[in-house]
Amino acid sequence: MYERLGKRLELEDITDTWGYDRMVVSPDISRPGLCLSGYTYKFMHDRIQIFGETEITLLKKLSPQEKQAAVKNVFNFPVVCSIITKGLTPPDELVSASQSSGSALFVSPQDTTPLIHDLTDFLSEVFAPHVSLHGTLVDVYGEGLLVMGRSAIGKSEAVLGLVERGHRLVADDLVRVRKTGNRLIGSGDAMLGFHMEIRGIGFVNIAELFGVGAIKEMQSVDLVVRLFDTDLDDEADRSGLIGKHMSIMGVDVPMVEIPVLPGRNITLLLEVAAMMNIQVKDTGSTSAERLNRKLIARMGRKRLRE
């Protein structure tokens, strides 16, 4: 965690790498003020402890013996690690107790409330439920399209066409999707980066070829597009009236299925699918549903005239 968060929170280790083997097991944080005062019942020692101005001021008002007793109330437990905010100087008793217990102690110049918000956001992201899916995720007009289908059906080639049109690649081949509340956020594999495998060409670095404007670190998953093989269009829904969804970690995501046939411009169809999904969000209905209502109304008027 320190490697990923140390620079972001400007953390300075003052215990000389003690306690780095301890695991953070909760996305929540704790303020140990009550525990310092002697109330240790239900002390959440498995959370990261935040020593702000309140806690440090409390310790400084105590005698040396009282300080030792207060910090022992905290570090008698296997505390994961502690962070002192606002660049405050920790009492020697606090540093000594932290080292003796094998718990890491950090100091950050950042204010307490912003640091807690930043830390909580980071931990919530790390501990969010997640799943890895085979597909390609691309940002099209702000909509996250998760393009799926069998291997070699042309997912990467179609998305490469979208990138050439000015849209942004998020992940290719392996998409890591995490659940935050009722939203799904997709990102790529750190090792793969923003590379795409194009059969016949090999691996293509999208950022190098198209610039950093062609890539995006993460994106919500708003629409699943499944590409499938077919010899006839009859297998696909032609009307667009049958709403389909794909459940990902309990979240139903709208899904469209596009048959892959010779001569079809899949890149263009993906763009249209994204625009139609935006339209549904804005109007609450699809073009097919609105057309269907018009046809039904027209038939109703015709019957009345008869």
> Active-site residue numbers?
134, 155, 173, 238
Secondary structure letter of residue 91 according to DSSP: P
* Backbone region of residue 5 per phi and psi (left: phi > 0; alpha: psi in -120 to 50; beta: other values): alpha
Give the span between the Cα atoms of 168 and 215, in whole angstroms: 5
**Continuous segment of H or E residues that includes residue 14:** none
Q: How far is residue 13's CA from residue 121's CA, in Å, rounded to a whole number?
A: 22
CA atoms of 30 and 46, how far apart (whole Å): 9
Give me the DSSP letters along 120-161.
HHHHHHHHS-EEEEEEEEEEETTEEEEEEESTTSSHHHHHHH
Joined tokens for residue 149:
């289908």
**Do the Cβ atoms of 152 and 178 come closer than 8 Å?**
no
Give the rounded distance of the alpha carbon of 258 from its chain centre. Answer: 27
